[in-house]
Amino acid sequence: MACSILRLCGFLLVHVSVVAASDSLDIFDFPQNYESLLYHTRQVPEAEWPSNFIMSLYTTADAISSLKTGDMSVLSSLASKGTEWLPEEELVAFIFENNLCDALELLLKRCFKFQPSVENLDAAAEKGHVEMLKITATNCPMARPSAIGIDRAIIAGHVAIMQLIAAKTPNYFNYHQEALDAARRGHLDILKWISEAKGILPSYLGISHAALSGHLEVVEWLFGKNPHILPTLLSIEAAAQNKHYKVVQWYSENRRTLPAIHHFVVNGLFGIADWLHSKSDGNYPNQGTINEAFIKGDVQIISWLSRKRPEIGPDSRSILDAVKRGHEASLIWLLQNSPKCLLVPQVIDALIARGTWFLVDNLLDLNRNWIPSQSNVDRIIKSGRVMTLARLFRLSSLCEPSMKSVNEAALCGHVGSLHLIYERFPGTLPDASTISSLYTNGKRDVIHFIYTVVPKFKTSQLNFNAAALNGHANLLEYCHSKDKNLLPDLTTIAHAKMKGHNRVEEWFFHLFDDKQPMKALPKIRIDSISNQTILLTVKEAKLRIELLATQVLASTTQADAIKTRRKAQEDEGRPVQTNTTTNIRAGAPLRNPSLMEALSLGGRSETANMENQQPQAVNLGVAGLA
């Protein structure tokens, strides 16, 4: 114990003398002063234990710092601690990543339990440190990089790693696939080694993969091995798109005949087409080429052609063909890039006829000075698109709509269009014939519009009856609200009921439910022809309408039977016999005198006495209703 204390005192005296000799020296300034202290302590006799103590202060960080300068003394000091010492993973990873073969050999010799991890071997393989793998294999025969590490080495193009693995495991690689991958990645060394060692070349796809990736050296080498295989056009197109023009140039020089620019354009190979066009006289494309592109409707082709010859646009005929074929994408492109080509009356007509309203609306917004044709105006009015018509009416020059288009808009119920037309062209309304058809078709909104703009407008009894015959009860109610004297006659109600329009009869009687507490109706016309009116109760009116409907149905059935018999006689070639007493047209006013007299029973007739008229051969059985 006393001896140890004396030795420690001696060490401290040495330290003091060292500090006295150099004011800048600090024992606690690790690791810079380790070597200096070791040197001085080793000069003192019997001072081995201070040296060993200082050496034990080294760390992994100190070893890495010294290895960076090429000094292995610190690593050697750490390895000399004993057979139980193992280097930390950080130190081993640094050695493998930096290809420090001497340091690895030192660790393998000094540290009997040390063995590199798979991660260390993968890192060496990925970086191509084949000597590190050889040293490891010599000392640790079972140590080998993983499949991931080997794949990374191949991707990086380290042919030496592949050679090392193949030497130990001959069947490890699929050489056909490796050759194809090497061509795609541009690893000519790997291709040459596989070809020399195994006699294997990549498939016909190899040269195409190399071409599209721009590996001209690989393309030339593969073509030299097999001059009968050229890259595909698609791979050359990809090379052109990726600006690998040297590959495209090589292809054009080694192919016997190169197709014209148009071939590449229509097939969507725009990269090759660009390269060829840059070497041409600039006369491509022409008018015919652009027209053909519009007829086909390929926007990419149209866009490419337009960039090359912006002064040429499609003609009207090709645009019309594009409209008929429904190539809306090409038409939208034309709208965005050259809308003047679309501002042609025939094109507008075609767009309207096909219902391409998006284009029509945009065209009307783009050019306020455009003068539409009469057909343009009429077609837009007939379409019933109010917003499109409003855009049309904002144009500076506009022709007046034709009466035909106004009538058709009314018959279709396009009230919004009629409003716009009347505001822009006051007094423009449907004609009388069309107004009559409005009642037949039940266009209540259009009739309301006419009542609004024409203060003295009145509905005729004939038109009112037409609405009733076709079952338009809502229209009857509206017209009656405008003129309380408008009421349908019994015959018209019967005809409507016979057709299944029961709402007309319901509306008629509902009209008087609240106004006639005695359930007596006002004077009612029997039909639309005579002026005879009668006074009936609600019950009597319902019975007589039912009777009239039955008579109309019977007359119609008999008329159909006669028509069928006539047709049969005509088919057989026999003379056609007619019976005038039963030929009653369905829907016609019933003017049978006996019927008129029967309908007068129970009521008071205000017409001339009809007793002198001879009754027809029609028996309605009115006596049963009395």
Last-in-domain residue among 234, 257, 273: 273
Determine the pLDDT at residue 32: 46
What's the pLDDT band for 103 if we cut at 50, 70, 90?
confident
For the segment 544-565, what is each residue's pLDDT rounded down to a tens digit? 777 777 776 666 665 666 666 6
Tens digit of each residue's pLDDT (9 = 90 or more) over 342-400: 888 888 888 888 888 988 888 888 877 778 888 889 999 999 999 999 988 888 788 89
Read off the amino acid at residue 606. Answer: E
CA distance 163 to 172: 11
Which one has a higher pLDDT value, 14 or 169?
169
* Sole residue written with tokens 């017409």: 607
Token pair belonging to 351: 């767009």
Last residue of some domain: 219, 253, 273? 273
Q: Is there a domain that residue 239 lies in? A: yes
Longest dimension (CA), the chain: 170
Domain tally, the chain = 2
Q: Is residue 556 part of a domain?
A: yes
> What is the reported pLDDT for 477?
92
Domain-embedded: residue 514: yes
For the chain, give the percent of residues with pLDDT over 90.
21
Nearest in space to 454 (alpha carbons), one of 478, 487, 427, 436: 427
Please report, rounded to a whole number, the percentage of residues in the chain having pLDDT higher than 70.
73
Long-range Cβ contacts of 105-108 (<8 Å, 24+ apart)? 105/135, 106/72, 106/75, 106/76, 106/79, 107/75, 107/79, 108/135, 108/136, 108/139, 108/140
The per-residue pLDDT of the chain, averaged, comes to: 77
Report which residue type is found at 246.
K
pLDDT digits (tens, 9 = 90+) for 386-438: 999 998 888 878 889 999 999 999 999 999 999 999 999 998 999 999 999 99
Contact 433, 410 (CB under 8 A): no
Contacts of 604 (CB under 8 A, 6+ apart): 534, 535
Q: What is the pLDDT of residue 609?
A: 34
Element (H, E) at 534: strand 533-534
Burial 417-435 (b: 16+ CB within 10 A, else e): bbebbbebeeeebbeeebb
Question: Residue 444: its pLDDT value, please?
Answer: 95
> pLDDT (tens digit, 9 = 90+) per residue, 269-319?
888 888 888 887 778 888 888 888 888 888 898 899 888 888 888 988 999
Sign of CA dihedral 152, 157, 163, 164: negative
CATH number at residue 206: 1.25.40
Confidence (pLDDT) at 415: 95
Question: pLDDT (tens digit, 9 = 90+) per residue, 72-101?
Answer: 777 776 767 655 667 777 778 888 888 788
Angle ∠(319,323,325) on CA atoms, nearest 5? 115
Structural domain boundaries, residue 480? 476-568+583-626
* Residue 468 maps to a domain: no
Output 603 or 465, whichever has higher pLDDT.
Answer: 465
Give the tens place of pLDDT for each residue, 490-536. Answer: 888 888 888 888 898 888 888 776 555 545 566 677 766 666 777 77
Q: In the structure encoding, which two tokens stand for residue 228, read together?
A: 């009968």
Instruction: Name the domain boundary from 233, 249, 273.
Output: 273
The pTM of the full predicted model, rounded to 2 decimals, is 0.53
Residue 591 has pLDDT above 60, yes or no: no
